[in-house]
């Protein structure tokens, strides 16, 4: 196993290479180089150092005939790659010295890289953390996804309302990838299936080409590097020369532009109505390309097809790649001439499926009409899969039902393991969405609680805390996070708590400076930073938070000289463009912010800020600076959460419900270091069955009633009484997510937070205890769980 030795990569050798790349790769003279030029030169210099470990890992995998893991995901929310490389190669200090010697501001150079926003939120970010852990653990793996030309949209606020514009991360040179024009596969759609002598053959109506782009993903200390292979869609034929010669320039490029559409944009949501046909094509496109690539590699090693599951483990990240089941069967039967039944068995033994949500709208279904038109052969194969399933278990949980092809059922039936992403979620998967299938296939569902990479989400984003930890327990915790428990004996040590507190304060100042410079916001850094950062969604209940803010404002105004705990409420997150109510919630937060921040009586005690365009890089600034982590979803709705882990790990105790991984976080950090409120998942179900539960909750909560009346009276909307009619009607009459029922309990928990925060030393102790006890939530632990219990893919080490 090759290991980069930072001692041999000196500031001088980096400097020489940076200058060389500036001159020969960019054709720039140092005197005229821009920030962008310096960044590209530095990135190429760093990339050079990734290539050797990458080659060595690939060689070792081939030579040892090691089993490979393939992670198929529509999303990889990787953010800035330069940071991953610098941190994992331990070149931060040397790169800084080299850049300074060249007269450049190292931080500005690193911050110049645009975020690769190839994901919406938790699911995509988890995939990025998993890639980091797979490499750190030296498990041979490929991530497969789509090389979207435009990642998640950019968010701007106009009069408090979310506006979206196309994101263009590829407009600048993207140096981390290697284009592989020779790795290209045809992907077919449409047409029809012809059957002759019982032999089916698919005659497609349309073909595009999937072309590979590889990014090495290097693990901790550069000991191993895997590959993230993203597919770009290209036309099968460049353009129609005949039309062009006739002068029909637009007509000549129609096919090309239709093909490219497939990898043009990331859908800004996985839970709303989208361009269904395009989405289905995207899913099939990257799954089919990945499977062809996997089979080609497998066969090139001389294995017999029957041994596929011994050498290959495929993980389906949510239902998006669930078409892998029928596609793998199709390749085995139509291309490699296996019989249908053994092909289904072989595919099933190779595939596994992770469920990330119980929200019914996110469990994909395609209308039979659309599905059979785009993928006619797969439609037939699914009928075979369904028949084999009936045969096996003798009962009729259907994949095709009521005119729909149900991808959750398909993924389940075609997987050898199905897992949820937190203990509670996995139990609910067994009891609710897949209760019938769980009874038919007992033992198939298991749990793998999510985790986060400590390299990125502690070591890299929080240098101040990193130093305190290393000064206290030494180094080596970055790839053995449970070692954080060695901090425990120091939790009553004044020197340690002082150092911990100083780190938090410096992070708050760093955030305040950035918010001032980038967003023109001024924050009181002595106040508690109370942070809710995540996609805007009713179940995540940002509206519960803002209603509590209004109620607190009212209380402060009624008694301005009271013993208040100053707070800054910080929101971050995007709403899917078509999600009207979520967009109203955004506007409400901004309207409330405007009113409160102008109130001379309260503004030093309660401030609301909502910087636009939340992304991974913003999270890296917000998380280390947070004092309080808001994890307030309706119990039973958040599958796991990973922001909850990042915040707690970085010393931000949670106020939260018993939902997702909050349950396990509370078990680890201790109930005295977690502010619990709200109904449990089973209480939620019971309350929802009660008559007029929302109106009753409002009636008996004077604070909530008043806050709702203020909104209705236009107090935050310049007298406009209709602006928030949708939010209000929703809360009074369709409060599916029980904001109203949890309000009082949440308000009380916040007052417990206030009291606890006033004891500054006690609070620092709680924060540090969170850090000390969060070691279990490393994505290394999660990946070990997958490797042992699902993939049977050991580390090469």
- Longest Cα–Cα distance of the chain, Å, equals 88
Whole-angstrom distance, CA of residue 109 vs CA of residue 15: 14
Q: Which two tokens stand for residue 285?
A: 């496109």
Whole-angstrom distance, CA of residue 434 vs CA of residue 604: 50
Whole-angstrom distance, CA of residue 327 vs CA of residue 331: 6
- Coil, strand or helix: which one is 521? coil
Pairing mode, strands 312-317 and 68-72? parallel
The number of residues that bind ligand 9GP (CB under 6 A) is 17
Q: Which of 386, 501, 620, 638 binds ligand 9GP (CB under 6 A)?
A: 638
Q: Which ranges of 232-307 would DSSP assign to H, the alpha helix?
A: 241-245, 249-252, 254-261, 276-300
Whole-angstrom distance, CA of residue 738 vs CA of residue 320: 29
Whole-angstrom distance, CA of residue 487 vs CA of residue 473: 7
Q: Which two tokens stand for residue 763?
A: 């609070």
Q: Which of 370, 350, 363 is nearest to 437 (CA)?
A: 363
Cβ neighbours of residue 203 under 8 Å, at least 6 residues apart?
191, 192, 193, 194
Q: Within 13 A of 76's CA, how many CA atoms are on the CB side?
A: 26
- Please report whether residue 132 would count as binding ligand 9GP according to CB under 6 A: no
* Catalytic residue (choose from 535, 543, 574, 773): 535
Q: Which of 121, 143, 651, 775 binds ligand 9GP (CB under 6 A)?
A: 121
Q: Which two tokens stand for residue 556?
A: 């402060």
Whole-angstrom distance, CA of residue 119 vs CA of residue 353: 19
- Please report whether residue 315 would count as binding ligand 9GP according to CB under 6 A: no
Per CB under 6 A, contacts with ligand 9GP among 707-746 are none
Cβ neighbours of residue 281 under 8 Å, at least 6 residues apart?
189, 262, 374
Cβ closer to ligand 9GP: 33 or 323? 323
Report, in Å, the least distance between residue 315 CB and ligand 9GP: 12
- Please report whether residue 619 would count as binding ligand 9GP according to CB under 6 A: no
Q: Taking contact as CB under 6 A, which single stretch among the options 120-128, 323-331, 519-527, 704-712 is the one that binds ligand 9GP?
A: 120-128
Report, in Å, the least distance between residue 484 CB and ligand 9GP: 21
Pairing mode, strands 199-203 and 206-218? unpaired
Q: Taking contact as CB under 6 A, which single stretch among the options 39-47, 117-125, 251-259, 345-353 is the one that binds ligand 9GP?
A: 117-125
* Catalytic residue (choose from 39, 47, 646, 773): 646
Report, in Å, the least distance between residue 363 CB and ligand 9GP: 9
- Please report whether residue 123 would count as binding ligand 9GP according to CB under 6 A: yes
Enumerate helices (H) and strands (E) in the chain, giving the number of each: 33, 24
- Please report whether residue 421 would count as binding ligand 9GP according to CB under 6 A: yes
Cβ atoms of 707 and 554 within 8 Å: the answer is: yes
Q: Is 47 a catalytic residue?
A: no
Q: Which of 553, 627, 543 is nearest to 590 (CA)?
A: 543
Question: What are the residues facing 675 on neighbouring strands?
Answer: 655
Q: Within 13 A of 176's CA, how many CA atoms are on the CB side?
A: 25
Cβ closer to ligand 9GP: 234 or 320? 320
Report, in Å, the least distance between residue 273 CB and ligand 9GP: 16
Q: Is 642 a catalytic residue?
A: yes
Whole-angstrom distance, CA of residue 787 vs CA of residue 776: 16
- Please report whether residue 582 would count as binding ligand 9GP according to CB under 6 A: no
Report, in Å, the least distance between residue 645 CB and ligand 9GP: 9
Cβ closer to ligand 9GP: 122 or 653? 122
What is the chain's Cα-based Rg? 27
Q: What is the 3-state secondary structure (H, E, C) of 382-402?
A: HHHHHHHHHHHHCCCCCCEEC
* Other residues' Cβ atoms within 10 Å of the Cβ of residue 140: 24
Q: Taking contact as CB under 6 A, which single stretch among the options 92-100, 558-566, 632-640, 700-708 is the one that binds ligand 9GP?
A: 632-640
User: For the window 248-287, what string marks contact with ligand 9GP as x by the rule CB under 6 A?
Assistant: ----------------------x-----------------
Q: Taking contact as CB under 6 A, which single stretch among the options 80-88, 122-130, 157-165, 512-520 is the one that binds ligand 9GP?
A: 122-130
Q: Is 535 a catalytic residue?
A: yes
Cβ closer to ligand 9GP: 145 or 641? 641
Q: Is 425 a catalytic residue?
A: no
Report, in Å, the least distance between residue 317 CB and ligand 9GP: 9
Q: Which residue is nearest to ligand 9GP (CB)?
A: 122
Question: What are the residues facing 607 on neighbouring strands?
Answer: 568
Q: Which of 318, 327, 742, 780 binds ligand 9GP (CB under 6 A)?
A: 318
* Catalytic residue (choose from 271, 357, 449, 642): 642
User: For the window 651-680, what string marks contact with ligand 9GP as x by the rule CB under 6 A?
Assistant: ---------x--------------------
Cβ closer to ligand 9GP: 421 or 521? 421
Q: Within 13 A of 349's CA, how many CA atoms are on the CB side?
A: 14
Cβ closer to ligand 9GP: 75 or 115? 75
Cβ closer to ligand 9GP: 270 or 664? 270
Q: Which of 212, 176, 224 is nearest to 58 (CA)?
A: 224
Q: Is 646 a catalytic residue?
A: yes
Whole-angstrom distance, CA of residue 160 vs CA of residue 706: 23
Q: Which of 126, 262, 429, 468 binds ligand 9GP (CB under 6 A)?
A: 126
Cβ closer to ligand 9GP: 150 or 637? 637
Q: Taking contact as CB under 6 A, which single stretch among the options 19-27, 587-595, 640-648, 786-794 is the one that binds ligand 9GP?
A: 640-648
Report, in Å, the least distance between residue 431 CB and ligand 9GP: 17
Cβ closer to ligand 9GP: 308 or 362? 362
Running DSSP on this structure, what letter comes out for residue 2? Answer: -
Q: Which of 43, 282, 357, 657 binds ligand 9GP (CB under 6 A)?
A: 357
Cβ closer to ligand 9GP: 29 or 361? 361
Cβ atoms of 460 and 620 within 8 Å: the answer is: yes
* Other residues' Cβ atoms within 10 Å of the Cβ of residue 297: 17
Helix axes 35-63, 11-24, angle to 10 degrees: 110
Which residue's structure tokens are 């032999």? 199
- Please report whether residue 122 would count as binding ligand 9GP according to CB under 6 A: yes
Q: Which of 113, 180, 152 is nearest to 576 (CA)?
A: 152
Q: Is 574 a catalytic residue?
A: no
* Catalytic residue (choose from 68, 281, 365, 534): 534
CA distances from 397 to 391, 433, 437, 525 (A): 12, 12, 7, 57
Per CB under 6 A, contacts with ligand 9GP among 360-389 are 362
Per CB under 6 A, contacts with ligand 9GP among 428-487 are 450
Cβ closer to ligand 9GP: 426 or 640? 640
* Catalytic residue (choose from 39, 356, 574, 687): 356
Q: Taking contact as CB under 6 A, which single stretch among the options 219-227, 541-549, 636-644, 703-711 is the one that binds ligand 9GP?
A: 636-644
Report, in Å, the least distance between residue 642 CB and ligand 9GP: 5
Q: Which of 135, 615, 640, 673 binds ligand 9GP (CB under 6 A)?
A: 640
Whole-angstrom distance, CA of residue 261 vs CA of residue 235: 10
* Catalytic residue (choose from 540, 543, 687, 766): 540
Pairing mode, strands 654-656 and 628-631? parallel
Report, in Å, the least distance between residue 644 CB and ligand 9GP: 8
**What's the start-to-end Cα distance of the chain, in Å?**
8
In the complex, the residues that contact ligand 9GP under the rule CB under 6 A are 121-123, 126, 270, 318, 356-357, 362, 421, 450, 638-642, 660
- Which residues are annotated as catalytic? 356, 534-535, 540, 642, 646
């Amino acid at each position: 196993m090759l290991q980069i030795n930072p001692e041999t990569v000196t500031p001088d050798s980096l400097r020489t290479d940076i200058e060389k790349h500036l001159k020969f790769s960019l054709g720039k003279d140092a005197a005229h180089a821009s920030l962008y030029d310096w960044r590209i030169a530095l990135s190429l210099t760093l990339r050079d150092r990734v290539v050797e470990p990458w080659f060595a890992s690939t060689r070792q995998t081939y030579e040892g005939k090691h089993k490979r893991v393939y992670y198929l995901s529509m999303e990889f929310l990787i953010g800035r790659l330069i940071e991953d490389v610098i941190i994992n190669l331990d070149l931060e200090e040397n790169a800084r010295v080299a850049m300074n010697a060249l007269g450049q501001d190292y931080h500005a150079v690193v911050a110049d890289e645009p975020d690769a926003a190839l994901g919406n939120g938790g699911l995509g970010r988890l995939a990025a953390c998993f890639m980091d852990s797979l490499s750190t653990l030296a498990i041979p793996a490929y991530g497969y996804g789509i090389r979207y030309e435009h990642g998640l949209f950019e968010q701007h606020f106009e009069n408090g309302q979310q506006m979206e514009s196309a994101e263009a991360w590829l407009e600048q040179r993207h140096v981390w990838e290697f284009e592989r024009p020779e790795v290209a596969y045809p992907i077919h759609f449409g047409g029809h299936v012809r059957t002759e002598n019982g032999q089916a053959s698919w005659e497609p109506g349309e073909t595009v080409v999937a072309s590979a782009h590889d990014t090495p993903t290097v693990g901790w200390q550069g000991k191993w590097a895997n590959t993230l292979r993203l597919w770009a869609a290209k036309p099968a034929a460049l353009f129609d020369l005949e039309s062009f010669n006739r002068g029909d320039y637009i007509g000549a490029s129609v096919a090309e532009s239709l093909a490219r559409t497939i990898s043009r944009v990331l859908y800004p949501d996985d839970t709303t109505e989208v361009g269904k046909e395009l989405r289905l094509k995207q899913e099939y496109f990257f799954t089919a390309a990945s499977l062809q690539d996997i089979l080609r590699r497998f066969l090139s090693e001389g294995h017999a097809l029957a041994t596929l599951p011994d050498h290959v483990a495929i993980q389906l990240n949510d239902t998006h790649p669930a078409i892998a089941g029928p596609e793998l069967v199709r390749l085995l039967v139509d291309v490699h001439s296996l019989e249908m039944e053994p092909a289904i068995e072989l595919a099933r033994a190779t595939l596994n499926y992770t469920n990330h949500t119980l929200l019914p709208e996110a469990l994909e279904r395609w209308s039979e009409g659309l599905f059979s038109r785009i993928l006619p052969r797969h439609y037939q194969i699914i009928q075979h899969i369904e028949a084999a399933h009936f045969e096996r278990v003798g009962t009729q949980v259907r994949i095709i039902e009521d005119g729909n092809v149900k991808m959750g059922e398909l993924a389940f039936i075609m997987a050898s393991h199905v897992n949820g992403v937190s203990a509670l979620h996995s139990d609910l998967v067994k009891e609710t969405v897949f209760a019938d299938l769980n009874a038919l296939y007992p033992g198939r569902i298991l749990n793998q609680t999510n985790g986060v990479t400590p390299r990125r989400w502690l070591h890299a984003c929080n240098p101040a805390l990193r130093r305190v930890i290393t000064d206290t327990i030494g180094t080596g915790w970055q790839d053995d996070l449970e070692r954080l428990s060695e901090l425990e004996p120091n939790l009553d040590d004044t020197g340690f708590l002082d150092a911990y507190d100083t780190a938090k304060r410096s992070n708050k100042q760093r955030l305040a400076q950035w918010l001032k410079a980038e967003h023109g916001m001024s924050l009181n850094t002595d106040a508690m930073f109370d942070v809710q950062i995540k996609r805007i969604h009713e179940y995540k209940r940002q509206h519960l938070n803002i209603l509590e803010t209004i109620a607190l404002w009212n209380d402060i105004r009624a008694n301005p000289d009271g013993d208040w705990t100053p707070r800054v409420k910080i929101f971050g997150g995007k709403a899917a463009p078509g999600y009207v109510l979520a967009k109203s919630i955004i506007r409400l937060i901004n309207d409330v912010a405007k009113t409160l921040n102008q109130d001379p009586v309260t503004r030093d005690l309660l401030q609301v800020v909502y910087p636009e365009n939340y992304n991974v890089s913003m999270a890296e600034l917000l998380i280390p600076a947070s004092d309080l982590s808001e994890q307030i979803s309706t119990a039973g709705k958040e599958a796991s959460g990973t922001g909850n882990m990042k915040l707690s790990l970085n010393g931000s105790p949670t106020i939260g419900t018993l939902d997702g991984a909050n349950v396990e976080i509370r078990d680890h950090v201790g109930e005295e270091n977690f502010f619990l409120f709200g109904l449990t998942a089973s209480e939620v179900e019971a309350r929802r069955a009660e008559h007029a539960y929302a109106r009753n909750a409002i009636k008996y909560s004077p604070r909530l009633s008043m806050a709702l009346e203020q909104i209705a009276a236009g107090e935050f909307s310049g007298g406009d009484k209709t602006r928030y009619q949708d939010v209000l009607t929703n809360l009074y009459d369709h409060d599916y997510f029980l904001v109203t029922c949890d309000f009082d309990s949440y308000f009380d928990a916040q007052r417990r937070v206030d009291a606890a925060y006033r004891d500054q030393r006690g609070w620092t102790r709680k924060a540090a205890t969170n850090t000390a006890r969060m070691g279990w939530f490393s994505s290394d632990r999660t990946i070990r769980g997958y490797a042992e219990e699902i993939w049977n893919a050991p580390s090469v080490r």
